[in-house]
Amino acid sequence: MPIPKPVTRVRGSQTGSPIKALLDLLGRRWALGILWNLGEDPATFRDLQRRCGGISPSILNSRLKDLKDADMVGREEEGYTLTERGKELYAIVLPLGAWSASRSEEAFGHAKPGMRESVLEKAEALRRRRA
Amino acid sequence: MPIPKPVTRVRGSQTGSPIKALLDLLGRRWALGILWNLGEDPATFRDLQRRCGGISPSILNSRLKDLKDADMVGREEEGYTLTERGKELYAIVLPLGAWSASRSEEAFGHAKPGMRESVLEKAEALRRRRA
DNA sequence: CAGGACGCTACTATTATCGTAGCGCTACAG
DNA sequence: CTGTAGCGCTACGATAATAGTAGCGTCCTG
């Protein structure tokens, strides 16, 4: 099950080329958030729901379906988890965490205490894992 | 949940930490697409509209406003263009292009003619520019 | 002046998302 | 056995986001 097939287009976006399909998938609300929250460790449905700040189950399920169709997440014993493809994607978007933290600090002058660290730790953790 | 107050929040998402705010912003439809299409060179309003495949002007304008508020895009003589911050972000998501192309190719064996090249050229171009 | 492109705004129709309630299941305690 | 609790998920009405089309005012060029 490939990346969003060029056939399954969504409203308006004429999803022709791969990049458009991808941007389209990631452009759906919570898609990136789910990817992000599954990045470090698997999570159960309700767990994921909590991590995302109380996302409604209908949407969570719908998004999970999208991501499963795109072969980004799979379902294992421990719950939902990223596939190889999902992990690759996660690795790509990972820098967003550190970047947003530093940028936010610069912009609003107040990074949330602990947040920057936790984000950077995440990045660090993955880097170590991949080494 | 005590929270900082980053960008403007949207429906439901309790946009707390910087990363959530960012994922929220990028999670809006066409946000990534606009970023992507502005990556290489500036574009006028209608030009951008065409590049995004006929996105409706109301949404385009709304998204541009969001991105301007987030200091990602600015408006210059030549049209809309990425700010420094926007370029940083673009640099982060740039690999998505090549990745989606290769993944798509692997998945259904046929990259859209011309697309893969154009994507890779984009990456190449930026790399040269930054070197 | 006509014609065209531009940046947008206004408006309605359609869709996506939210929020809550709740079902069927398992586990585990009383 | 009964109760309580968590789980994965579905259903559904309410509401916000997006699509799509039309068009205004402006600046050009001819």
Q: What is the pLDDT of residue B87?
A: 96
Q: What is the 3-state secondary structure (H, E, C) of B27-76?
A: CCCCHHHHHHHHCCCCECHHHHHHHCCCCCHHHHHHHHHHHHHCCCEEEE
- Model confidence pLDDT, tens digit, residues A50-109: 999 989 999 999 999 999 999 999 999 889 999 999 999 999 999 999 999 887 655 543
φ, ψ (nearest 5 deg) of residue A106: -65, -35
- DSSP secondary structure code for residue A7 in this structure: T
**Reported confidence tier of residue B104, pLDDT bands at 50, 70, 90:** low
Please tell me the distance in Å from B33's CA to the nearest CA on chain A.
Answer: 6
Q: What is the pLDDT of residue A9?
A: 38
Closest residue, chain A, to B109 (C-alpha): A2
pLDDT digits (tens, 9 = 90+) for A8-53: 333 333 345 889 999 999 999 999 999 999 998 999 999 999 999 9
- State the smallest CA–CA distance between residue A78 and chain B in angstroms: 25
What percent of chain B is predicted at pLDDT more than 90? 58
Q: Say how far apart CA B33 and CA A18 lie, in whole Å.
A: 12
- Identify the pLDDT of residue A105: 59
> Average pLDDT, whole number, for chain B?
75
| Chain-chain contact of B92 with A103 (C-beta, under 8 angstroms) | no
Higher pLDDT residue, B14 or B16? B16
**What pLDDT, on the 0 to 100 scale, is given for residue B102?**
86
A32 contact residues in B (CB cutoff 8 A): 23, 26-27
> B-chain residues within 8 Å CB-CB of A122?
none
% helix, strand, coil for chain A, step of 5: 60, 5, 35
| Confidence check: pLDDT of B108 > 90 | no
- Protein-covered nucleotides of chain D (CB closer than 7 Å) are 6-12, 16-23
Does the nearest atom of strand D lie within 7 Å of A13's Cβ? yes
Q: Which residues contact residue B119 at a Cβ distance below 8 angstroms, ignoring those fewer than 6 apart?
A: A17, A18, A19, B97, B98, B100, B101
In the predicted model, is pLDDT for residue A7 greater than 90? no
Nearest to A2 among B5, B54, B107 (CB): B107
**Model confidence pLDDT, tens digit, residues B36-56:** 999 989 999 999 999 999 899
pLDDT of A103 reads 75
